[in-house]
C-alpha cells in the first residue's frame, strides 16, 4: 500500500460504523461543472436523479444552473418537487395507480412542470382521459425503442402515428421524443460512437417525418452515461446522464474519455480471518449492488490484489493474494462497480468535506413513496 494519502481517506473514519456510504461534496461539485462544460450549456442537461436520490445533491445541481431533471419513480419525482426543480420528466409510462399518483404529484407541486412518457396509443388514451378529467394538460414525450428493447415504440413503426395522436389528444401537450440507448456500453470509444451515431440517425429521420407532417417540432432527450460524451456535442439534444454525479468503477474502466471523478466510496471492516489467505468483511448483498458477477461488485483501490470469493447477505469473503497482513477491525475503502443500486441500499449518506465528516443526508427517494 502507498504511504501517500488518497482522496477517500478521512481523519475520523474509525468512528464510523460499517458498512457505510461516504460522499465527497467537493468531487460532486467538480463532476457537476464537468458535465456543464461538456455540454457547453446547463440548459442542455437533464440529469437523471436515480443515482443519488437526494434532495441536497439536487440542490447543488440547481445552484450550478441546472433546471431540468429526469427520474424513474414517483418518489424521485416528488423529491425533485421538494427541491423546487423547475422541469421534471418522469422517464416512465405511468399506468394504473401510478398514473393517479402522478396526477396527485402534479397538483401537490405546482411550481414544478412535470412531464412523462408514452409508447402506445392505449396508454396515451388512458393518460389523456386521466389528465383531462383532472383538469390538467401535461407535457408528454414519445418513448422510442432504439435498441434497448425494454420500453418504447420503434421509430420506424408507428412512432409518427403515435406522435400525431398525442398532438390531438385532450389533456396532453406533445413535447418531444425520448430515447435511452443504455444498450450501448462498448469500452472501445470509436465503436461506442459509431453505435450512438446510428441511434441518433434513427431519431433524426423521425424528426424529419414529424416536421414534414407539420406537427409540433419535437424536443429530443437522448442517451445516458456511456454515450454522454457523444451526444453532448449535438446542440439539438438534451442529455440525461445520471452516474456522473458519483461515478463508479464500471465507468472508470469503460468510459475513460469522460473525466468525472469517483465521489462516493464504501467503508467496510474486516470481521474475520476464517483461513489462510481469507479475509471476510461486512460488505454483504445488503451493502453493495450484487447484480454483476462477483469480480465486478466492488474494487479496493488500496488493495487491488483482494479478489472476491463469495458474498452473502452480511459478508463478503475475499482472497488475499499478497503479503499484506489483515486483522479483525481493519478498515477498507471500496469503490462500487455499480453505484446507482448501491445508493438505493443506504438510507443515508455520510458527507465528507475537506477530509472530515460534516453531516449526513438522506437518500429520501430510495423508498417507493414519500407522501404521494
CATH classification of the domain holding 85: 3.20.20.10
Which residues are CB-neighbours of 57 under 8 A, at least 6 positions away?
23, 28, 49, 245, 361
272 and 200 in one domain?
no
CATH number for the domain including 314? 2.40.37.20
Whether 372 is covered by a domain: the verdict is: no
- What are the pLDDT digits (tens) for 104-136? 999 999 999 999 999 999 999 999 999 999 999
Based on its alpha-carbon atoms, the radius of gyration of the chain, rounded to whole angstroms, reads 22
- What are the pLDDT digits (tens) for 210-246? 999 999 999 999 999 999 999 999 999 999 999 999 9
267 and 235 in one domain?
no
Decide if pLDDT at 68 tops 80. Answer: yes
Total domain count for the chain? 2
Q: What is the DSSP string of 101-161?
A: HHHHHHHH-TTSEEEEEE-SHHHHHHHHHHHHHTT--EEEEEEE-SS--SSSB-TTTTHHH
Residue 4's pLDDT band, with cuts at 50, 70 and 90, is low
| Cα–Cα dist 333/8, whole Å | 8
- What are the pLDDT digits (tens) for 19-67? 999 999 999 999 999 999 999 999 999 999 999 999 999 999 999 999 9
Nearest to 331 by CA among 302, 353, 354: 302
Dihedral, CA atoms, 165, 170, 171, 176, nearest 10 degrees?
30
Residue 155's pLDDT band, with cuts at 50, 70 and 90, is very high
Q: What is the DSSP letter of 45?
A: B
Domain coverage including residue 77: 25-248
| Cα–Cα dist 294/342, whole Å | 15
Is residue 72 within 8 A of residue 46, CB to CB? The reply is no
The arithmetic mean of pLDDT across residues 183-208, rounded, is 97
Structure confidence at residue 12 (pLDDT): 86
102 and 241 in one domain?
yes
41 and 91 in one domain?
yes
Whether 6 is covered by a domain: the verdict is: no
Decide if pLDDT at 337 tops 80. Answer: yes
End residue of a domain, out of 248, 283, 309: 248
210 and 89 in one domain?
yes
Average pLDDT of the chain is 96
End residue of a domain, out of 248, 273, 290: 248
What residue has cell string 479483525?
A: 328
Decide if pLDDT at 320 tops 60. Answer: yes
230 and 208 in one domain?
yes
| Cα–Cα dist 248/303, whole Å | 17
272 and 303 in one domain?
yes
Structure confidence at residue 1 (pLDDT): 40
End residue of a domain, out of 248, 269, 304: 248
Residue 5's pLDDT band, with cuts at 50, 70 and 90, is confident
Whether 267 is covered by a domain: the verdict is: yes
Decide if pLDDT at 2 tops 50. Answer: no
The arithmetic mean of pLDDT across residues 238-258, rounded, is 97
Give the predicted TM-score (pTM) of the model: 0.96
- What are the pLDDT digits (tens) for 81-112? 999 999 999 999 999 999 999 999 999 999 99
Amino acid at each position: 500500500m502507498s504511504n501517500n494519502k488518497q482522496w477517500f481517506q478521512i481523519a475520523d473514519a474509525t468512528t464510523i460504523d460499517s458498512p457505510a456510504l461516504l460522499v465527497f461534496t467537493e468531487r460532486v461539485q467538480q463532476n457537476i461543472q464537468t458535465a456543464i462544460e461538456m455540454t457547453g450549456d446547463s440548459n442542455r442537461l437533464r440529469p437523471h436523479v436515480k443515482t443519488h436520490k437526494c434532495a441536497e445533491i439536487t440542490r447543488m445541481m440547481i445552484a450550478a444552473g441546472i433546471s431540468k431533471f429526469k427520474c424513474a419513480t414517483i418518489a424521485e419525482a416528488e423529491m425533485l418537487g421538494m427541491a423546487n426543480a423547475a422541469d421534471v420528466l418522469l422517464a416512465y409510462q405511468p399506468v394504473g395507480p401510478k398514473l393517479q399518483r402522478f396526477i396527485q404529484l402534479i397538483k401537490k407541486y405546482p411550481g414544478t412542470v412535470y412531464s412523462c412518457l408514452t409508447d402506445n396509443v392505449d396508454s396515451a388514451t388512458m393518460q389523456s382521459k386521466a389528465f383531462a378529467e383532472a383538469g390538467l394538460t401535461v407535457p408528454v414525450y414519445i418513448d422510442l425503442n432504439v435498441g434497448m428493447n425494454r420500453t418504447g415504440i420503434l421509430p420506424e413503426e408507428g412512432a409518427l402515428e403515435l406522435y400525431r395522436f398525442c398532438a390531438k389528444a385532450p389533456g396532453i401537450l406533445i413535447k418531444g421524443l425520448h430515447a435511452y440507448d443504455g444498450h450501448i456500453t462498448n469500452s472501445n470509444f470509436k465503436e461506442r460512437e459509431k453505435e450512438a451515431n446510428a441511434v441518433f440517425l434513427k431519431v433524426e429521420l423521425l424528426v424529419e417525418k414529424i416536421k414534414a407532417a407539420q406537427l409540433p417540432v419535437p424536443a429530443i432527450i437522448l442517451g445516458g452515461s456511456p454515450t454522454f460524451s457523444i451526444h453532448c456535442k449535438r446542440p439539438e439534444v438534451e442529455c440525461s446522464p445520471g452516474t456522473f454525479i458519483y461515478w463508479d468503477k464500471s465507468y472508470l474502466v469503460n468510459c475513460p474519455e469522460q473525466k468525472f471523478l469517483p465521489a462516493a466510496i464504501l467503508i467496510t471492516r474486516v470481521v474475520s480471518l476464517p483461513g489462510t489467505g481469507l479475509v471476510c468483511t461486512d460488505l454483504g448483498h445488503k451493502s453493495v449492488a450484487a447484480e454483476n458477477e462477483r469480480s465486478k461488485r466492488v474494487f479496493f483501490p488500496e488493495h487491488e490484489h483482494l479478489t472476491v470469493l463469495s458474498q452473502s447477505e452480511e459478508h463478503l469473503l475475499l482472497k488475499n493474494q499478497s503479503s499484506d497482513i489483515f486483522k479483525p477491525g481493519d478498515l477498507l475503502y471500496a469503490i462500487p462497480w455499480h453505484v446507482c443500486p448501491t445508493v438505493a441500499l443506504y438510507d443515508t449518506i455520510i458527507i465528507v468535506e475537506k477530509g472530515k465528516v460534516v453531516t449526513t443526508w438522506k437518500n429520501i427517494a430510495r423508498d417507493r413513496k414519500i407522501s404521494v
